[in-house]
Amino acid sequence: MVLLGPPGAGKGTQAKRLQARYGLCHISTGDLFRAAVNDDTALGREVKRYLAAGALVPDDVTSAVVARRLAAADCRAGAIFDGYPRTLRQADDLDRMLAERDRHLDHVIYFDVSEETAVERLGGRRSCPRCGALYHVVNMPPRVEGRCDRCGSELVQRDDDRPDTIRRRMEVYREETRALVERYVGNGLLRRVDANPEPDVVTQAAIAAIEASGGRSVR
């Protein structure tokens, strides 16, 4: 199962919920990149080099990180891909990885969200620069305004969570993934889900889309 959608669509939240429902492993490229860097393997050092330079991790390196995770025992029952693929090359790589395991892609869910909702969700995020804890000024505020519950440090707003930056990020995402979306629409896999409502509503819509999608089963 592939989850697509621009920043602020709630893919991470929905991935965890669908993981719990269907018993699939959750493969997030962001999580994988951080884990690879922390492991300090040769692959992790290569990822770190690109991230430190502020550059996109190349398709071949990204796919290598995903392939390594997909080979783990907990992914034998299937996987939810969150943030992957992002390009046609990565989509080709994913098809190859699945074919090598005698598997195929069953579902592609596109979580569609408005700019206004994305700005509200991401613009309200605050993070702790010391321990990395995350908060939201409305949905998950700290006990003391502006201070981390864990370590007491002053919370900050990341530069990429500012309204103008969020809108640019959404525009870039949609342009980058346009061909990918067209590919999955063309082969009949893609289902769009309105990601503007509350998470529970979005989850139920995603489940309905999955279970009504032409008899393709979640395995």
**Which residues are the active-site residues?**
11, 86, 125, 158, 169
**Planar angle of CA 186, 14, 7, nearest 5 degrees:** 70
What is the enclosing helix (H) or strand (E) of 78?
A: none
Residues 6+ apart with CB under 8 A from 103: 78
Provide the 10 A C-beta neighbour count for residue 29. 20
The residues, ordered by sequence, that sit 6+ positions from 32 with a Cβ below 8 Å of its Cβ are: 65, 66, 69
Pairing of strands 190-194, 79-82: unpaired
Residue that is written with structure tokens 């034998």 in the block = 76
Helix axes 88-100, 163-186, angle to 10 degrees: 50
Integer angstrom CA distances of residue 86 from 106, 174, 209 = 17, 10, 21
3-state secondary structure (DSSP) of residue 58:
coil
- The amino acid occupying position 204 is Q
